[in-house]
Structure 1
């Protein structure tokens, strides 16, 4: 049976000031992921970065390929999720996001994620940068509507 998890919180854990991004103290993300038989079958996330410039004030990620979690649920490994990252008004397909499961059960989930920016998106001295965050989700019941803003 599929389980839907809706995002309830996000904490950016990497230093983002050198990337030229201003992140407010309280981020209000929106999104969800769906897990069935140890596989993420659908996921979408969007969030605002506060006082950033113009179109760079928000980013979103939409999963485009199923991601198998089963091998990492019981250890400290990571898996790679592939999807479309939208930032600065530009879609960047085939963006890889590293996921490690902190917890995943019938009540909720916590995931650590690392978004490695595609070339030209976020660069410091010519090197691509990455953003690391912890995402907190609440499990939804079948009769709980999931917000889908994207």
Structure 2
């Protein structure tokens, strides 16, 4: 066998072995990085002690309450007067139509909140009705988000 062929075979074997070594060490480095990432994530979650999760759940509950109130007010605004049972049924139908999801809508709680805000009332035969949207906005007043927006506008014009 000529000496040149041995050098070619040696060069090819060296390249293959070098490439395999590169893949192996890259894999080991990626595995170490991944394990460090998992360890850091677990450490961060332990430090939280559940406070972040609790705050997230509280925020979700508040958003759910607001959505119930908005849907109830919308149905009353669209339908006019409605009994509690009719309002409950229409709210559930709206959610079914728009989101293709069945639910048991808690209309009692939503109507109680709307009555406390004085934007929904009950007539003499027990049907609920709402004030107009403009009047409801006046009754509720300026929201926190509107205060923040106005403050940002004021600071950007200065």
TM-score by length of 2: 0.23
**Structure richer in helix, relative to its length:** 2
**Structure richer in strand, relative to its length:** 1
Work out which structure has the larger RCO, using CA pairs closer than 8 Å and 6 or more positions apart in sequence.
1
TM-score by length of 1: 0.24
* Larger-Rg structure: 2
